[in-house]
Chain A
């Protein structure tokens, strides 16, 4: 295959990765933006979403699309409830102290991982794609499902943006982000906003995972890479800036896909993590962040 088509293939792979990464990182960014806490267990909510998706699709018979649609609904719902419970039982009692929250969510990470290992097992299991067609380019055929993932992710991000900017709930979230004290004075139930935001953040990760699971198999350790990549994206995009997060996800996801095709993936990851460390050292507000974090 010539360089041109090869680059196109690499870009398509990168775009699929970027689409899922953007959804996952958006969840992390939302939680950081509104609640000012770092959720280290975010990758485990992603993994939980994938594992539940496998579980739902294997219970629902018939056409693969039926099970997939059921998973799209059930998996984020269960993950959201679990996240809200964790928020109520643990994070609230810590008063959202940033460092105590990091320790607690590391604990949560281990608990969720062990739950998945003990119930689901150590095997990687595939989920059938809901649709099965190939888009034929002049040089190669490409999975139609992967193209749909890009579209679905874009639609969901648009929905998040609409909710944040055009609804009452979104207004409450933005008010809480801006100044929780004043928001409380205006009768905004800040506690419930926090629980809701934490749940929505986890649900976005779960949605990303349901989309990816027909491409990558569900595995109990799969949350590790998305967590690190989401950290990277959220930092580069500017801590707390949603627009920056999406933009950074596209850049990081695309370049990760393209570099991994042409170079060693390990070297690509070393360069990416070092780059992020240096960005945070010299531009603590991130590349697109307006205000210091």
Chain B
């Protein structure tokens, strides 16, 4: 049998030499004869009706090749998870009648150089009639808020409900039995992933009728699927080349540049590069969303949580991207790694007239953890208890069931906290120092030690 000896040793990176010599090939390190450049005309306002788009001035710019509007897009629906039927289909590749965030793509210019494309894009005249904007998740749910979606609401519907719901035990009964009610409002901010290499793709028409697409996407097959559907070519006509990504952190999971680059390559017959400027990366690429979370915990005198109610609002921005999925993940995590016997969670995916938010490092879970741990500290502080002990007291163990009815099989919180305590030189009381995620077999019920 082959001996496997890598664990515990340092193994040299396969791409290490390429990185330190600068010879690793990122998307725009590739050059092709006749490479054209694409730049997008974006909405200058957060919410407006589009009355007219006039590209005639742009056409006069030296180096101009072509302009694309929604009329050039065979199937103007961009839905990341469309292939696996996760909709609804609500985002256009290029806006048709309405724009819903500042920076939304309206048209695209292809030119000989990036500079010419940018100059021509600046000469496209877009006639807009502004509509009221809404930037706050709770305001967006008010009856008089401007409606962003064709279906008449500003929220994503989960199985007929206006939010992702979790119901477990009897939260009202839990509150009655509690000695204390601890409430807090938590708010996180959007965070830009800010990869050092901006989002980019080059689409190159091949002589056999196929397209080779070089991309720095983090999600090669989401991109291939969407591009094929949007451009209306069989999947077999596209070859995507990726894997070299100059930083992503979730910011390159959405399908952003490949469909337009491929469409432009198809229309012009030239290889076309669409690479975000740094401004675009910061202003229109999808950041980590902002979340607002209201927590209400029922707690006993000795710090045991007996009921938790959470109402939370994810700011999806103008379009879904991955946020409906993130909200589901969030709903499974607002209880935290703690044993919550009675729970009621209402988690909303809300649309506002802001740039769409999407994935970033544990998205949906990260804001939940922020609120959960803030809440644990608050419980300890208000009851005059030790912050470590409140966490040990409530820590879930294997065999416990979470509010979304998942039996815990891989708990590590107790051991993680024990290691952390050791690292910071914190002495734990014996009952917590010897506690385990594995409940003792001969103890019944909820006995923890």
A in complex with B? no
Interface residues of B (CB under 8 A from A): none
A residues with CB within 8 A of B: none
